[in-house]
Amino acid sequence: MYVGVPVVLILGLLAEFPCVPYPSEGDRIMLRKNQFHAVLAIPVALMAVLPAVVVAQADMMPTNHMPNPYTTQEGWAKLHDGRTWGSSSSVDLDPDGVSIWVGERCGGNVGACTANPDVDPIMKFDPSGTMLISFGAGIINWPHGIDVDASGNVWVADGRDNLPSGRGAGNAPRPSNVYGHQVHKFSPEGELLMSIGMPGGGRGSDYFFQPNDVHVAPNGNIFVAEGHGNNPDNNPARILKFDRNGNFLMEWGSMGDGEGEFQQPHALAMDSRGRLFVGDRSNNRVQIFDQDGNFIDMWYQFGRPSGIYIDPNDILYSADSESGSVSPPHGNWLRGIRVGSAITGQVHYLIPDPIPDCRGTCTAEGVVADRNGVIYGAEVGPVGGIKRYTRDQ
């Protein structure tokens, strides 16, 4: 990105040069030199007051050597009735600014909630790690993305269905109540208020197939990132926009690595300007759009983003759970949580994966931060559950 200086501003400043009599040839040469140097000085002076904007390319050096001013706290959140943590990729902040909501996969990962339809996958925890409420049993198969709107309503992207899968699936009976591949809106008390998408999934206009994340804008419009695979013959790769009532408005994106193209649009966030950030995971970048799908920029400096979150101060948190493990070609980048600016694109901190030799999806996949700057990472594996990261004093 180039931060230019408006031509009108330059001309206005040049207009301040005093009028002088027509000079001699020697004086004309000196005057031209002085004016040239003055024009060059204008952008330099303005850059001193404008925020620095990072230019990031796909082949840039990894942002690995960043300070880590955070302490990790494990075993913070407590489950009820002897329940153990399974995989989680979804975590978001309650409007109270300190409690968090988590989507957890019923003690396992793929198929665990389908096999245990009485287990609640959606849970709220207070700052001490005490569970306050849970719900969603028999409605959600595979919670993948979560967003809590300004009214406290909980939106969940369910990325799979409850149809038989694997060996012998063709001979297995079809469930009487098919659900999944949908986006659900719950009240803070767990009442189901709205479902978007065909139960069991659909393609094209019969959305969704593998919705990854959902984000609700301040005006109530709903954005959904769809497509969890990289096979263009089988997987969508797009952003869908709906109004506050769930009516379809528009979509953009397709499989690819160009501007406005995606490979696993895995996470969504919005900054204070209303720009939509998309964690374009398999392209190892974040893409930025306006709310009508117009491309603004793409950033590579935040790693391979499985999860992204932007706080009210425009601090950007990006969780990289796959570099070097699921994605060996991106192995020169360290997995972990990068913390930086959604305005300038600068990366300030890195909380590295404590298991550098981990294979598969490792460390945080979902990420959020509370009003005090405490970070929460939702982990698919190998341990699963939630880790808490507090800033060192």
Please give the residue range of the domain that contains residue 97: 70-391
d(CA 240, CA 254): 11
Mark whether 42 and 77 lie in a shared domain: no
d(CA 243, CA 158): 19
The overall average pLDDT reported for the chain is 88
With beta carbons less than 8 A apart as the criterion, state whether 235 and 228 touch.
yes
DSSP class of residue 323? B
Segments in the chain forming alpha helices (H): 7-14, 25-47, 112-115
* Amino acid residing at 179: Y
Say which range, 25-34, 44-53, 234-243, 372-381, has the weakest mean pLDDT: 25-34
Instruction: Provide the residue count of the chain.
Output: 393
Angle at CA of residue 370, ends 86 and 392, nearest 5°: 95
Mark whether 131 and 23 lie in a shared domain: no
Residues 203-230 have pLDDT tens digits of 999 999 999 999 999 999 999 999 999 9
Backbone angles phi, psi at 47, to 5 degrees: -65, -20
Output the domain CATH number for residue 306: 2.120.10.30
Mark whether 239 and 369 lie in a shared domain: yes
User: Shortest CA distance to 223 belongs to which of 202, 205, 198, 196?
Assistant: 196
CB atoms within 10 A of CB 178: 14
With beta carbons less than 8 A apart as the criterion, state whether 90 and 321 touch.
no
Cα distances from 368 to residues 91, 188, 305, 340, in angstroms, run: 6, 18, 13, 13
| Inside any domain, residue 374 | yes
Cα Rg of the chain (Å, integer): 24
The DSSP bridge partners found for residue 146 are 156
Q: Which residue has the tokens 């952003």?
A: 239
Task: Tell whether the model's pLDDT for residue 25 goes beyond 60.
Answer: no
Task: Tell whether the model's pLDDT for residue 48 goes beyond 70.
Answer: no
Mark whether 112 and 206 lie in a shared domain: yes
Residues 123-136 have pLDDT tens digits of 999 999 999 999 99
For residue 4, the model assigns a pLDDT of 39
Evaluate if pTM is beyond 0.85: yes
Mark whether 18 and 85 lie in a shared domain: no
d(CA 389, CA 381): 17
d(CA 306, CA 278): 10
Q: Which residue has the higher pLDDT, 389 or 56?
A: 389
The structural domain count of the chain equals: 2
- Tokens standing for 70? 């955070």
